[in-house]
Amino acid sequence: MDVQIEIERLRSELHKHNHRYYTLDAPVISDYDFDQLLKKLEQLEAAHPEFFDPNSPSVRVGGEVTKNFETVSHRFPMLSLGNTYSLEELQDWIIRVQKLAPNATFVCELKYDGVAIGIQYVNGALARAVTRGDGAQGDDITTNVRTIKSIPLQLTAPYPEDFEIRGEIVLPHARFDALNAQRSAQGLSLFANPRNCASGTLKLQDSAEVAKRGLDAYLYYVLPEGVLASNHSESIAHAGKLGFKIPRTQDKFIAKCDSIEAIMSFVNHWDKARKELPFDIDGVVIKVDSYKAQEDLGFTAKSPRWATAFKFKAERIPTVLESVSYQVGRTGAITPVANLKPVWLGGTTVKRASLHNEDQIAALDLHNGDTVFVEKGGEIIPKVVGVDVDNRMESALRIEFISHCPECHSPLSRLDGEAQHYCLNESSCEPQVSGRIDHFISRKAMDITGMGSETVALLVKKNLVSTPADLYKLTYEELIQLDGFKERSVLNVLEWGGSFEESAV
């Protein structure tokens, strides 16, 4: 047996089965038979490392550890889209485009709520995958993207020599729920929502852990324009033939539209049907189909004139206000928080929502036990946006804003013209002291590793530190007596302080 030929045969066969299973949803062999083929390939590759290929199907299981993700420049800028929540503004945009490009037709697509990605293919092989970043440059996460089974590693049809395809990496609801169930059983904190989980997963250093998460991807934009076809819709259809998981017309994930009425029909359909999808979307993207018309319409400084996004309004649901608590920030700012009867909203269980300040509580005329309406600002942060006054009990008491700090009991201050209340006891109010030290060691400040918020809070509580400078005065005898501190933990803190002090000198 020619080992190299057998390895190539197995790789080719496994690529085809991956495509049929994860992209076409039409497998022709059992999971067991697939696993046996993969096992055989892994054994041959292990015995013959000279035939290593970074795009072998065996890399799907991960295993490579990336210490740092290289920042690279995009060959084509990843611009953001203009967007609106107003159907009237969307119609105005369509009319403007039609005046500038009278024969323009449009393509409507889902606006996936995931992580934008650009993937370069050279000679049919996956060469590089880069996050959006700031639009001009992003992080090279190729190793992790190779573990996503719906993204082809090797194309089988005739393909351009060098091109890029862009899209969105998403975490399906089923996988998100399974991950959170597993974390709950292990006593770990739960992921907030699928998008945040997908983003965090792609930055994990261990690609084997990425492989376990079950990320998926939809790819919908080919660069350079015209490399596959003269318009966007045909380019996407062609990309599907190359093996990519694309938005398909039969699923109604994409549609060509030649009128305002057709575009509005697509938008209205998905505003209602989005809850039935196995992944999150937050709107619809509308693009001019012809690349020539796109070129004529051009760009603004931040976004293309030939595309826009219509964003769905946040879902709003009722629940019960059980109490109001107050948080103290590192600047002493007091933020009221609504504690709610748990309710499912936008893919997560919501138990708390910000009330911002005293004026917001007064504007809502909040009473204990009120039925309140909650939505997620920007589909992320829960907030109370209204009260069902008709359901209010006659005996309900109005929520009165506190007059003293909930932590140190100092009187609160509110300056004229400001909405926020402040605790002025900055020297000994524990949340303020801890918050300032947390900020000092955070990634955006000194970027110090080896000490987290819980450790800082404990040190402040035990009166061992009150300023960042106190971190460098800690002793072995003080730390070893703390709950949860063993010798290794103590040495990590002391080594960190010593090495930092030396570098500062």
Q: Of the candidates 292, 141, 120, 124, which has an alpha carbon nearest to the alpha carbon of residue 223?
A: 120
The residue count for the chain: 505
Is 256 an active-site residue? Answer: no
Q: How many of the other CB atoms lie within 10 Å of CB of 23?
A: 19
- Let me know: does 399 contact 368? Beta carbons within 8 Å: yes
Q: How many of the other CB atoms lie within 10 Å of CB of 163?
A: 17
State the catalytic residue, choosing from 40, 111, 461, 462: 111
DSSP of 267-331, one letter per residue?
HHHHHHHGGGSSS-EEEEEEEESBHHHHHHH-B-SSSBTTEEEEEPPPPEEEEEEEEEEEEE-TT
111 SS3 class? strand
The token pair at 72 is: 């690279």
Q: How many of the other CB atoms lie within 10 Å of CB of 138?
A: 22
Q: How many of the other CB atoms lie within 10 Å of CB of 198?
A: 26
7 SS3 class? helix
Which residues in 384-421 are b (16+ Cβ under 10 Å) and which e? Answer: beebeeeebeeeeeebebeeebebbebebeeeeeeebb
Q: Of the candidates 239, 192, 193, which has an alpha carbon nearest to the alpha carbon of residue 218?
A: 239
The token pair at 419 is: 């909405």
Taking each continuous run of H as one helix and of E as one strand, the counts in the chain are 15, 18
Radius of gyration, CA atoms only, the chain: 27
Q: Of the candidates 374, 354, 362, 438, which has an alpha carbon nearest to the alpha carbon of residue 400?
A: 362
Pairing relation of β-strands 82-84 and 216-223?
unpaired
The residues annotated with a catalytic role in the active site are 111
